[in-house]
Structure 1
Amino acid sequence: MSRPVIVTCAVTGSIHTPTMSAHLPVTPEAIAEQAVEAAQAGAAIIHLHARDPASGLPSADPALFVEIVERIRARSDAVLNLSTGGSSRMTLAERLAAARLIRPEMCSLNMGSMNFGLFPLAERYGEWKHDWEPAFLEATRSVIFKNSFEDIETILGDLGGEGGARFELECYDVGHLQTVAFYLEKGLLKAPVFVQFVLGVLGGIDAAPEQLMHMKATADRLLGSNYRFSVLAAGRQQMPLGTMGVILGGHVRVGLEDNLTIARGRLATSNAEQVAKIRRILEELGHRVATPDEARAELGIATAGTAR
């Protein structure tokens, strides 16, 4: 049966570095432009990080986020989803500064501490545009991406509660689903929760069809009818497992944060190119892309009909 599928686009992230693709947006203007283009191509939700405009280094500077958000809001009513993850090298206060200021209608929330290994990417490149890039990647060999229970509760309290934000609950393994269920039972999360199954990050569950089925079966058992899900598969499994997620009744996330290519051996020229590809696939399956207001209604976002 035809149904609206929510497409999330993660525009730049904090994983890939400028050397890896000339198409990765870095400046606020470029990030906003690619976000608007992705929304025009069919993305209902835009997942946002910021970068230092000179170096491309992931940044938590609230002023950069404000500029990005204002540029997008002037041209699009897409749901704007600010990252509270930032990068594993940022403190919690740094990661939350922009969202605390902007008070967006949606934020991401990583549901547990974990190893988050980017260091294998450094082996693929011999020359770098910026000196910080290889050291940034190599640092993930020794750094834990900290998201303790206390951190999660701080984010839920500061940005959920009176802040009114809904959350993209990023679950990198089945244990993270246990944490979602715990906070749903405690009342700190409200149904329907929006769970992002994240597959393919070194340190989390791998990107395989069997693992997606395992994640969904676990979520079904723990959360029942109280959740909606989306699939984020890192790297080359982005489209195959995203498509599988749609077939299983879920939604899908694409974008240059998660995957730099559009086909084997070919870099995507923009985020919109990835959105257009997944849109063609889901329309061939008999579905359609959700509008931003349909996404708001499906996920219980209180600001339906507005672009905050």
Structure 2
Amino acid sequence: MNRNVIISCAVTGAGDTIERNPAVPVTPRAIADACIEAAQAGAAVAHIHVRDPETGAHSHDPALFREVVERVRSSDTDVVLNMTAGGGGDWVPSEEDPAQGGHGTDLLTPERRHLPVGELLPEICTLDCGSYNFADNLYVNTAPWARRQAELIQAAGVKPEIECFDLGHVRLARQLYNDGLVDDPPLFQLCLGIPWGAEADPETMLAMRNKLPDSAHWAAFGIGRDQLPMAAQAVLLGGNVRVGLEDNLFLSKGVLASNGALVDKALTTIENLGARAVTPAEARTTLGLRDPHN
């Protein structure tokens, strides 16, 4: 069991969720405010996507990331920033020609995915370690692309949070680590319950955890109603937790959530298990992060 738990809050995500919960932040100001709200509720880490302020759709615009990061960093609230670098992997086969991308395809090179990270140098950024069926579409990150992205992240001095949506992703990530492309201690996020990746259940979490490098720090999350049960399971198995509106829109059945409320509920769960949530400063020390204040 983990007695000192890092809570991460994924505040907005990239999904089509803004019509289902008005608390999902869209503008850079709202996303920054959500990061601050999560930190004040007890999260040590805020995980950031950005959205087009006009449409609410996901965006890769470095200027939007810059505004979010600058607003959070200029506030009086301390929180570790974890920027997504996984956007630009969506492949939807065209009905006319399956060899071509159809409507909804959004593919970026590793260099383009890394661009906001290299400019803004957050303490953490995500590294999606493999391709997989994402609902009815395909998320694409081939092994050479993952390797190239790991090289870029390492050169920037940013800690990769290796996102694994299936057991094969852990295998690829372990190879990158063994090849020296991921520095010690490695950080993993086990992403459970997304169709059609790894299931959100204790057996799957345990199987993935057991394949991690011995020195790894890790967290896990489930989506929807599995968010809090998987948070509790992660703590019991020695990991950290992630909650937030990216993964779950409800506090309980029929009750819409906010990011702060989800962090507060995770905090209560952790404390009921006899553990505590660590501060951002403690998280930096544990994970071997550079301090952005120095």
Same fold (TM over 0.5): yes
2: CA distance, partners of 1:2 / 1:198: 19
Matches within 5 A, 1:242-257: 242-257=231-246
Supply the RMSD in Å over aligned alpha carbons.
Answer: 1.6
What is the identity, as a one-letter code, of the residue corresponding to 2:147? E
Q: 1:204, CA displacement in angstroms?
A: 0.6
Structure that is richer in helix per residue: 1
For residue 188 of structure 1, report the CA deviation from its aligned partner: 0.7
The aligned counterpart of 1:274 is 262
Per-residue CA deviation, residues 164-197 of structure 1 (Å, 9 max, x unaligned), is 0001110111111111211111111122111111
Q: Which amino acid aligns with 1:284?
A: N
Q: What is the rounded CA distance, in whole Å, between the counterparts of 2:21 and 2:184 in structure 1?
A: 38
The answer (yes or no) to whether the contact 1:82–1:108 under 8 Å persists in 2 is yes
Q: Report % sequence identity.
A: 40
Using the TM superposition, give the Cα deviation of residue 160 of structure 1 relative to its aligned residue in structure 2, in angstroms: 1.4
Partner of 1:125: none
Number of equivalent positions: 276
Q: Secondary structure at the match of 1:218?
A: coil
Q: Which portions of structure 1, spanning 4 or more consecutive aligned residues, are displaced by more than 6 angstroms?
A: none
Structure 1 partner of 2:252: 263
Alpha-carbon shift at residue 307 of structure 1 (Å): 3.7
- Please state if 1:61 is matched with 2:61: yes
Q: Which residue is equivalent to 1:293?
A: 281
What's 2:121 paired with?
103
TM-score normalized by structure 1?
0.86
Q: Gaps spanning 5+ residues in structure 2: where?
A: 91-105
Q: Deviations over 1:194-233 (max 9, x none)?
A: 11111001121111122112212232xxx12x10110111
What is the match of residue 148 of structure 1? Answer: 142
Residue 46 (structure 1) aligned with residue 40 (structure 2): no
Moved more, 280-289 or 85-94: 85-94
Letter in 1 for 2:35: A
Mapping 1:1-308, distance limit 5 Å? 3-75=3-75, 76-87=77-88, 88=90, 89-92=106-109, 93-117=111-135, 141=136, 143-161=137-155, 163-219=156-212, 223-224=213-214, 226-268=215-257, 270-301=258-289, 303-304=290-291, 306-307=292-293
For the residue of structure 2 that corresponds to 1:115, the secondary structure is strand
Post-superposition offset of 1:263: 0.9
Check the 8 A contact 2:114/2:152 in 1, yes or no: no
Q: Is the 8 A contact 1:103 1:159 kept in 2?
A: no
Instruction: Give the TM-score taking structure 2 as reference length.
Output: 0.90
5+ long unaligned stretches in structure 1 = 118-140
| Equivalent residue number for residue 101 of structure 2 | none
Whether the 8 Å contact between 2:2 and 2:239 is mirrored in structure 1 is no
CA contact (8 A) 1:111 1:179 kept: yes
Deviation for aligned residue 1:94: 4.1
CA offset digits 1:112-170 (Å, max 9, x no partner) = 011111xxxxxxxxxxxxxxxxxxxxxxx3x4211112211222121212x10001110
